[in-house]
Amino acid sequence: MVFNTGAALLDAIVLAVVSKDEEGTYGYKITQEVRRVIELSESTLYPVLRRLQKNGYLEVYDRECAGRNRRSYRLTGPGRTQLGAYQKEWSEYVEKINGIFEEEEWNE
């Protein structure tokens, strides 16, 4: 992708991915889901997860999987609220950008 992904957009994407499963999900799966829309390394993801946890948007817990503990993440109440704010902001942003692109098509 030629467009930069800023911290707020990355936070929004991660919160959206984690919100898909009420029980939460684990880091590798989050990375795979995010990679469906943007290029992202695991080394980029984990600081984002820590920041979202520090801000109170994610809860971290260990869940047993195949005899080992797997660190999982799920949204908190404030995380759901923040995701809603990001979704509203994104919708407004997309509408403005699309308006510019559509306006350009009419002026050609």
β-bridge mates for residue 6, sequence order: none
Number of domains observed in the structure of the chain: 1
Q: What is the CATH number of the domain that holds 80?
A: 1.10.10.10
pLDDT per residue as tens, the chain (108 positions): 567 778 899 999 999 999 998 888 998 899 999 999 888 887 889 999 999 999 999 999 988 778 888 889 999 999 999 999 999 999 999 999 999 988 755 555
Q: Looking at residue 20, what DSSP letter applies? A: T
Of 7, 16, 1, the residue nearest 83 (C-alpha): 16
| Residue 74 located in a structural domain | yes
Q: Are strands 58-65 and 68-75 parallel, antiparallel or unpaired?
A: antiparallel
| Residue 23 located in a structural domain | yes
| Residue 1 located in a structural domain | no
Of 26, 21, 14, 18, the residue nearest 65 (C-alpha): 26
Residues of the domain holding 82: 7-107
Distance CA 84, CA 57 (A): 12
| Residue 2 located in a structural domain | no
pLDDT at 74: 95
